[in-house]
């Protein structure tokens, strides 16, 4: 019978379990008797790795309740001894001549590098490195052992990078591996992939080890890119390594050279495949912007002669060689724009935007009357099948450019908006349209309210179509049609839009066709774009689209909530997974909340319906929808607080009727704080009660004195409210979207230096940084729209003076004007 001291008094939490379990795992690896030649299976190694991760048997860290006790030293010694035995065991396996055992020992070393203490790693990393290097250099080992060794080395050098005390030694070890990696670049398969991963680790954490081999590494990567035997995934990995290569030198010149070579190679490939499908001279325009006058063109990363060798047909060459190569080069540009870089770099923005516009303008139709020999009907069909991939990757490049430069892209805003919006009108594939929505969302975030004036009609018009379920009669506004039919002479009135409508151009038919099967991913992207539009520019010149968007969002939110809760009814035509439906409902409710909270000169027309919807969502306990609805109700409390000053009641048109059930909270919706039929009647008073105006002087409430200046500003805001109310009763006088759309000219100035996301801003290039003013767009659009001209809100009134609040609540400017008119008439009669 075992002694009582051998039992685990703490159960699974007893610290003595960890060294005991580790010794048990070590015994399982021991070779005894006939088991000496037994090979480890992948399942056995996976179970061992799982136990090590779950129980943390390699951490050698005692819990706080064991520190300071009499058996602390004994526990530490026992645990250290167990780890030592474990290390000796897997090192013996790595040295074994049997490949299966060598592979198993290498896998165990990998988990040890990840989980062991820092002290043990610093002491043992040199021995472990030599063991792995022997595996790589041994020609007898199979590719499984080499692949595991390279992956283990990548983990080792990654963790060593966080210890400055071993920086010098680890850099020296990294330099010994560069040459073997370059030799593996000539091979194909998984071994080359893990070698490239290790190369990327060296570039990131040990750039000095790559510096002396910089030219050789660049040549090896570019040669591999031109290889016709590489598939898309391997090409993307090689292109990613090429994008990181400038970090080995860390200067702006190396970064610009690689970017210039990439753009030059992409443009050359487009010249080959776009013959007859675009106007002549497009490639030359990009070259003029990319290469300064008098300078030589950079060397191409693509060997055009090698691509033309052999008897490959043009169609096979496009599908198997050019298409993956072009996409991988674009991917490399995206990586360079988004990866942090330690210094400021010169970026050819105009060349990039011209290249992006060149790809987005091609839709597969022939633009030349003379068909070139290479442009056969079969080639055109194949190119049309590859164009969505080109468009997707080029949109990724634009997204990376926006993320990298942010507001620094402001001087080139016109060059960004025009090709994207033109392409949006032609795009029909859901995943492409979703990516365009995301692009517009980034533009709104990075450039602010000025960009919202330019993109409002495009976002609203396209979203009105993409969010139309097709299960009921919905109203698409004149604005939605104008956004899609800019060149159409016919302007249709608001009403039901049918795919059979006469006079609608083919582009619009293509977009509207198939709207019944719109995937939720596209609808989510559209809702997020509308959410951003409302948040950024919902209060600036939004009269032409705001009411329609509010109506659209309450309908979409109601439908999505019904689908999520299983009460869809006639909306059951939406067939998606539960997680997708929940995400769709969350995004719809978030957009509705943004619509209700966005500043406006009118009261939110669907506030009561939105409050009821959030109240229902709050009851879905345990879901993300309930959490969002709880936060939404807290945010909306400011709009329904009794002290909130009433806004102008904007009448809801008949065409904008909400397609939901009748709501029970009629008192809230038609309550006292909205203009009622009896404008003089206030809450808490019946018809016989006296208003404060009818009280005697000594019964008047004690009001704080308000100076003349504040009183004057209050009167101005009252006048603004009366004008807004007049506008609400005459919607036909609102200007059209084209009249409200500002004609902006952002110019084409080429900044000299841009600041990408930086790792270390302590040292920068000596060249001056371009200072881009965020007021460029705002100033051009704020003329004639000063602060005094904007309608006031309740928040503005509350911030003026507490003493002015009773005066605003009780005095009715319309009633005062009527009384003054009556007094004038009496005086004339007298």
pLDDT at residue 700 above 60? no
Q: Exposure pattern of 358-393 as b/e (b: 16+ CB <10 Å)?
A: bbbbbeeeeeeeeeeeebeeebbebbeebbeebbeb
Kindly report, residue by residue over 223-278, the tens digit of the pLDDT.
Answer: 888 775 667 888 899 999 999 999 999 999 999 999 999 999 999 999 988 888 88
Residue 720's pLDDT is 57
Cβ atoms of 802 and 704 closer than 8 Å: yes
With cut-offs at 50, 70 and 90, classify the pLDDT of residue 90.
very high
The DSSP code for 493 is P
With cut-offs at 50, 70 and 90, classify the pLDDT of residue 426.
very high
| Higher per-residue pLDDT: 441 or 669 | 441
The DSSP code for 390 is H
pLDDT at residue 416 above 70? yes
* Residue 282 CB partners (closer than 8 Å, separation 6+): 274, 358, 361
Q: Which two tokens stand for residue 287?
A: 């070259």
Euclidean distance between CA atoms 723 and 727, whole angstroms? 6
pLDDT at residue 558 above 90? yes
Tokens 């526990």, located at residue: 75
Cβ atoms of 108 and 48 closer than 8 Å: yes
Q: What are phi and psi of 227, to 5 degrees?
A: -65, 130
Query: What is the number of other CB atoms lying within 10 angstroms of the CB of residue 23?
Result: 17
Q: Which two tokens stand for residue 574?
A: 């939406």
pLDDT at residue 217 above 90? yes
Residue 456's pLDDT is 93
Residue 722's pLDDT is 53
Euclidean distance between CA atoms 566 and 363, whole angstroms? 41
Q: What are phi and psi of 496, to 5 degrees?
A: -75, 130
Tell me what the mean pLDDT of segment 524-536 comes to. 95
Q: Which among 366, 555, 553, 333 has a CA at the least distance from the CA of 460?
A: 553
Euclidean distance between CA atoms 250 and 406, whole angstroms? 22
Euclidean distance between CA atoms 341 and 763, whole angstroms? 11
Residue 370's pLDDT is 55
The crossing angle, in degrees rounded to 10, of helices 99-115 and 72-94 is 150
Q: Do the bridges between strand 495-496 and strand 475-476 make them parallel or antiparallel, or are there none, so unpaired?
A: antiparallel
Euclidean distance between CA atoms 492 and 481, whole angstroms? 8
pLDDT at residue 756 above 90? no
Euclidean distance between CA atoms 338 and 352, whole angstroms? 15
The DSSP code for 255 is H
Euclidean distance between CA atoms 391 and 389, whole angstroms? 5
With cut-offs at 50, 70 and 90, classify the pLDDT of residue 682.
very low
Tell me what the mean pLDDT of segment 610-624 comes to. 94
Sign of the Cα torsion 504, 506, 510, 513 reads positive
Cβ atoms of 269 and 261 closer than 8 Å: no
| Higher per-residue pLDDT: 759 or 26 | 26
pLDDT at residue 32 above 50? no
Tell me what the mean pLDDT of segment 663-686 comes to. 40
Distances (CA, A) of 420 to 160, 337, 357, 492: 45, 19, 8, 25
Residue 505's pLDDT is 44
SS3 491: coil
Q: Which two tokens stand for residue 515?
A: 């709207």
Cβ atoms of 117 and 62 closer than 8 Å: no
Question: What's the pTM value of the predicted model, to 2 decimals?
Answer: 0.73
Tell me what the mean pLDDT of segment 470-496 comes to. 41
Q: What are phi and psi of 589, to 5 degrees?
A: -70, -35
With cut-offs at 50, 70 and 90, classify the pLDDT of residue 761.
very low
Range among 54-68, 179-193, 586-600, 746-760 rated most confident:
586-600
pLDDT at residue 620 above 70? yes
* Residue 390 CB partners (closer than 8 Å, separation 6+): 323, 326, 327, 359, 362
Q: What is the 3-state secondary structure (H, E, C) of 796-809?
A: HHHHHCCCCHHHHH
pLDDT at residue 404 above 80? yes
| Higher per-residue pLDDT: 622 or 294 | 622
Q: Which two tokens stand for residue 447?
A: 């450039």
- Number of residues assigned to the chain: 830
- Mean pLDDT estimate for the chain: 75
Residue 412's pLDDT is 93
Strand partners, 345: 754
Kindly report, residue by residue over 98-124, the tens digit of the pLDDT.
Answer: 888 899 999 999 999 999 999 999 999
Q: Which among 333, 271, 268, 330 has a CA at the least distance from the CA of 303?
A: 268
pLDDT at residue 689 above 50? no
pLDDT at residue 142 above 90? no
Residue 13's pLDDT is 73
* Residue 388 CB partners (closer than 8 Å, separation 6+): 429, 432
pLDDT at residue 768 above 50? no
Euclidean distance between CA atoms 559 and 564, whole angstroms? 9
């Amino acid at each position: 019978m075992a002694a009582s001291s051998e039992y685990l008094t703490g159960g699974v939490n007893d610290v003595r379990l960890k060294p005991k379990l580790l010794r048990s795992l070590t015994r399982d690896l021991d070779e005894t008797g006939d088991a000496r030649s037994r090979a480890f299976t992948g399942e056995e190694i996976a179970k061992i790795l799982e136990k090590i991760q779950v129980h943390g048997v390699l951490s050698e860290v005692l819990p706080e309740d064991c520190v300071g006790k009499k058996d602390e030293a004994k526990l530490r010694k026992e645990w250290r001894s167990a780890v030592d035995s474990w290390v000796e065991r897997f090192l013996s396996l790595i040295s074994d001549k049997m490949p299966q055992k060598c592979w198993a020992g290498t896998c165990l070393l990998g988990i040890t590098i990840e989980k062991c203490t820092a002290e043990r790693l610093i002491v043992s990393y040199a021995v472990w490195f030599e063991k792995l290097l022997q595996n790589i250099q041994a020609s007898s080992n199979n590719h499984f052992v080499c692949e595991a060794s390279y992956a283990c080395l990548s983990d080792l050098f990654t963790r060593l990078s966080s210890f400055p005390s071993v920086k010098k030694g680890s850099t020296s070890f990294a330099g010994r591996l560069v040459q073997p990696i370059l030799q593996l670049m000539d091979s194909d398969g998984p071994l080359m992939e893990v070698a490239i991963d290790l190369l990327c680790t060296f570039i990131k954490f040990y750039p000095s080890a790559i510096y002396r081999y910089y030219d050789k590494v660049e040549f090896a990567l570019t040669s591999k890119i031109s290889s016709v035997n590489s598939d898309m995934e391997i090409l993307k990995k090689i292109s990613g390594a090429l994008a990181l290569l400038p970090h080995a030198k860390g200067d702006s010149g190396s970064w610009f050279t690689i970017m210039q070579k990439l753009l030059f190679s992409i443009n050359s490939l487009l010249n080959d495949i776009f013959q007859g499908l675009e106007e002549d001279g497009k490639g030359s325009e990009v070259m003029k912007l990319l290469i300064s006058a008098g300078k030589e063109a950079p060397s191409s990363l693509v060997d055009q002669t090698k691509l033309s060798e052999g008897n490959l047909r043009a169609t096979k060459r496009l599908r198997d060689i050019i298409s993956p190569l072009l996409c991988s080069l674009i991917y490399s540009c995206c990586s360079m724009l988004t990866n942090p870089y330690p210094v400021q770099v010169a970026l050819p923005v105009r060349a990039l935007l011209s290249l992006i516009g060149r790809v987005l303008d091609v839709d597969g139709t022939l633009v030349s009357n003379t068909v070139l020999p290479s442009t056969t009907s079969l080639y055109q069909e194949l190119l049309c099948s590859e164009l969505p991939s080109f468009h997707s990757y080029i949109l990724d490049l634009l997204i990376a450019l926006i993320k990298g430069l942010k507001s620094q892209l402001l001087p080139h805003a016109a060059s960004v908006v025009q090709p994207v919006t033109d392409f949006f009108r032609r795009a029909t594939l859901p995943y492409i349209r979703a990516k365009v929505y995301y692009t517009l969302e980034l533009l709104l975030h990075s450039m602010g309210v000025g960009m919202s004036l330019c993109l409002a009609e495009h976002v609203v018009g396209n979203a009105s179509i993409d969010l139309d379920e097709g299960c009921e009669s919905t109203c698409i506004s004149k604005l939605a049609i104008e956004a899609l039919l800019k060149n159409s002479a016919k302007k249709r009135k608001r009403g039901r839009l049918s795919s059979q409508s006469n006079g609608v151009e083919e582009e619009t038919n293509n977009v509207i066709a198939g709207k019944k099967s719109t995937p939720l991913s596209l609808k989510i992207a559209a809702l997020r774009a509308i959410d951003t539009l409302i948040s950024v520019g919902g209060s600036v010149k939004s009269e032409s689209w705001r009411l329609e968007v509010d109506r659209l969002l309450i309908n979409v939110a109601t439908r999505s909530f019904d689908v999520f809760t299983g009460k869809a009814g006639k909306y059951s035509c939406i067939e998606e997974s539960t997680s997708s439906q929940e995400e769709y409902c969350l995004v719809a409710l978030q957009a509705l909340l943004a619509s209700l909270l966005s500043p406006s000169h009118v009261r939110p027309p669907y506030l009561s319906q939105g409050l009821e919807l959030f109240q229902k969502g709050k009851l879905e306990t345990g879901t993300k929808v309930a959490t969002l609805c709880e936060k939404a109700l807290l945010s909306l409390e400011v709009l329904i607080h009794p002290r909130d000053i009433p806004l102008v009641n904007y009448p809801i048109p008949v065409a904008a009727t909400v397609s939901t059930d009748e709501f029970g909270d009629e008192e809230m919706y038609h309550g006292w704080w909205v203009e009622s039929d009896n404008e003089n009647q206030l809450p808490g008073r019946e018809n016989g009660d006296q208003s404060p105006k009818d009280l005697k002087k000594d019964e008047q409430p004690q009001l704080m004195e308000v100076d003349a200046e504040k009183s004057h500003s209050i009167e101005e805001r009252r006048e603004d409210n009366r004008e807004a109310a007049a506008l609400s009763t005459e919607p036909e006088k609102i200007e059209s979207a084209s009249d409200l759309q500002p004609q902006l000219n952002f110019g084409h100035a080429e900044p000299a230096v841009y600041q990408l996301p930086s790792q270390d801003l302590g040292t920068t290039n000596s060249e001056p940084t371009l200072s881009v003013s965020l007021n460029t767009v705002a100033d051009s659009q704020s003329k004639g729209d000063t602060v005094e001209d904007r309608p006031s809100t309740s928040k503005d009134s509350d911030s003026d003076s507490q003493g002015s609040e009773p005066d605003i609540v009780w005095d009715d400017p319309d009633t005062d004007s009527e009384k003054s008119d009556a007094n004038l008439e009496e005086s004339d009669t007298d």
